[in-house]
Amino acid sequence: MTDTEHAGADFVPEPATSRHSYLDSLNPAQREAVEALDGPVLVLAGAGTGKTRVLTTRLGHLLTTGRARPWQVLAVTFTNKAAREMRDRVSQLTGAPTEGWWLGTFHSLAARILRRHAELVGLTGSFTILDTDDQLRLIKQLLEAENVDHKRWPARLILSAIERWKDRALTPDRLKPEDAGDLAGGRMLALYSAYQDRLRTLNACDFGDLLQHCLTLFAITETVDGQTRFPVLEQYQDRFRYILVDEYQDTNQAQYFWLRLLAQRHRNLCCVGDDDQSIYSWRGAEIGNILRFESDFPGAKVIRLEQNYRSTARILSAASALIAHNQGRLGKTLFCEGAAGDPIVARTVWDGEEEARWVVDEIEALERQKVRLGDVAILVRAGYQMREQEDRLITVGVRYRVVGGPRFYERREIRDALAYLRVVAQPADDLAFERIINVPRRGIGATTIRTLSSFARRERIPMTEAVLRLLPTDELTGKARRSLGQLMQDFDRWRAVAGSRPHTDLARIVLDESGYTAMWQAEKTVEAQGRLENLKELVAGMEEFETLAGFLEHVSLVMEATEAGDANAAAEMVTLMTLHAAKGLEFGHVFLPGWEEGVFPSQRSMDETGVAGLEEERRLAYVGLTRAKTRAYISSAARRRIYGMWQDTLPSRFLSEIPADHLDRQSDIAPASGFDGSGYRGLFEASRQAAVNRRGPPMLDDVAYTVTPRTRPEQPYDAGHRVFHEKFGPGTVRLVDADKLTIQFDHAGEKKVMDSFVVPLDQAT
């Protein structure tokens, strides 16, 4: 008996008299899903229908009825949080501890199997699991070794391709050259192979390998009495008599193969999921896994959980009508026994700024009605849409939090862009300068930065001044001098542009000429695309301010408000997040801004994947609506500034797919004006002018800022003095030019250095 079996050996099923008491509170469909223990079962669990309760009760039912011992059940979740919740619920239900049970995420369970058989795939049981930073570092080393241009083919792009192949269970030997195209200049497959070889050498694997190596283990064969056997696979097929899987619609190909192989012997596989909430194809999820369940497992029972315990009837009917337009679904209709509830508010406004104003006004009205801010959420399609909402929330003083990512102005790309602009406006801003001095990479290393920083502190001057003072010397390496010299010329040119061009033009020029935009464009990943969208939104948001100084002042106030809010984390706050991050959550009142064609549904998603992309966008809309318990608010703008360009927009097609009797349509636009023609444009310009007038007086113009260096003492060195330099060692002063010394060093030859970097030789330690 293994350690795991010992851990559950003292588990005793409940007496028959109390065995079924926990089933009494389940509705008929839930109870059927719990009691259907034999054979393959697919539980289609609609939003808010109690799927977690069904899954944990089913697991507890298997154990308390004696159908299985704890070590004979494999229960798979997608997140550690879900695994912990399941453990707690099952432990409470059965009265037994869950330590040692096979209950966890795909990766944790696969790692557990792999550590037991690691030597069969060229590893040892103590292998390391690399995080993303380690993976990127390793790929960068391989790119250098293969002489692949890392600027054209960034490490993150290479890693993204490898991860997608591993999601599909594709090892290097199963790929063909055409599968990689021209990635990495046609050397992608060689890089993938070298990456895997290097991982084995390091006795390491990444998260994709955990499942990949398990599939390799399951494929190992041996011949016994003339028959081909699969020793590792059969060991786990025998062990796991029952398999339970949560969020089955989010499985990728590798996870699908892993589960299907393990379930082949006993066929007691229960998968719980919702095809209408499959929204992660960009992460490798395959909706086809749940759609073809019945063909994969002939004779499977499909049980639909349709009674919703979260939302009002109006919200459920609207969501059901919307999702019914998808062809790729198994079909179900949500219902509830509660009140019909209020219709969904569908508001049309002039522009994005007015939309944010309306959303926050409504939230304040809810707060006056004693609605807790923690029960209110704003759910957007893309991260760049958060800026207008955040700005308005901060302006009005409504507390909020961003879930699933940093606030807009805290994002890496936004901080980098702001750092460039801060140095343009204020050359003495050392914190900003140090942030971007080597972003994108310019060959300016940590040693150079320390030299500049040390000199600047001693001389009490900004780092930019330190650069100019050290450029003519040998304190800096040749490459660093060239890069810093070019950077200083760039900042001089940008400051000249700032005096003659709008600050929005300046921002675009800085981001382009610095190479920062190109850095993210070269990456060609979903994450990089999101960063580029955020940068465009940053520039667009600058148009609301008269000057660069005014905009930077606004950002400083925003960040100050952010820090003050974070200090009181226990306070109730409005939740601001993307629709993808909202899955699995619920709120009393949900605001859904930006329901316009091209925004939601996303034009990029439709362009890249056609009908499949549109259907996933519709599933995302369904997820958004079904997060709301009491009220849902949808808004669209007649005209929106997208990446700095004003565009007339049409309401999302999703609005027309919701029955009219479920909507309370409201509009700031006079019906006679329509969506085109001079009438609309005249009203639009009037609205815009009113918005401008409400912003108050313009910010102060840029004010020059100067730094007064310390008064220098009388020159302490003369020609012939012996001195010591920390980098070059001892030497003799040959020439003195103000604070610059030409020194003949004993071992480094003649160099030009700053006098503050040397000390008299007799004082050297």
Q: Is the peptide bond before 343 cis (omega within 30 degrees of 0)?
A: no
Please tell me the distance from the alpha carbon of residue 23 to that of residue 461, in angstroms, as a whole number.
74
- In eight-state DSSP terms, residue 13 is P
How far CA 659 is from CA of 145, 247, 314, 617, in Å, comes to: 60, 29, 10, 19
Please tell me the distance from the alpha carbon of residue 64 to that of residue 21, in angstroms, as a whole number.
11
Could you please report the per-residue DSSP string of 563-598? Answer: HHHHTTTTS--EEEEEHHHHTT--EEEEEE---BTB
Largest CA distance in the chain: 103
Backbone phi and psi for residue 36, each to the nearest 5 degrees, phi listed first: -80, 80
Which residue type occupies 284?
A: G
> Quick check: helix, strand or coil at residue 223?
strand
Residue 42 has a CB neighbour count (10 Å cut-off) of: 25
Please tell me the distance from the alpha carbon of residue 171 to that of residue 175, in angstroms, as a whole number.
7
Q: Are 193 and 93 in contact (CB under 8 A)?
A: no
CB-based contacts of 582: which residues, under 8 Å, 6+ apart? 377, 379, 623, 624, 627
Helices (H), 301-340: 313-323
Residue found by looking up tokens 């465009």 in the block: 536
Helices (H), 526-585: 526-542, 548-566, 579-582
Q: Is the peptide bond before 601 cis (omega within 30 degrees of 0)?
A: yes
Of the candidates 728, 723, 765, the one whose C-alpha atom is nearest the C-alpha of residue 750 is 728
Residue found by looking up tokens 């439709």 in the block: 606
Of the candidates 88, 78, 399, 493, the one whose C-alpha atom is nearest the C-alpha of residue 244 is 78
How far CA 415 is from CA of 407, 432, 496, 556, 723, in Å, comes to: 11, 9, 23, 11, 43
Please tell me the distance from the alpha carbon of residue 75 to that of residue 243, in angstroms, as a whole number.
6
CB-based contacts of 81: which residues, under 8 Å, 6+ apart? none
Residues forming a β-bridge with 635 = 347
Residue 77 has a CB neighbour count (10 Å cut-off) of: 24
> Quick check: helix, strand or coil at residue 409?
helix
Please tell me the distance from the alpha carbon of residue 227 to that of residue 236, in angstroms, as a whole number.
19
Helices (H), 118-250: 132-145, 155-167, 177-180, 188-201, 207-218, 231-239
Q: Are 649 and 641 in contact (CB under 8 A)?
A: no
Of the candidates 344, 245, 280, 264, the one whose C-alpha atom is nearest the C-alpha of residue 42 is 245
Residues labelled as active-site residues = 51-52, 246-247, 277, 627
Q: Are strands 639-642 and 645-648 parallel, antiparallel or unpaired?
A: antiparallel
Please tell me the distance from the alpha carbon of residue 522 to that of residue 518, in angstroms, as a whole number.
6
HSE at residue 713, side-chain half, CA atoms within 13 A, is 5
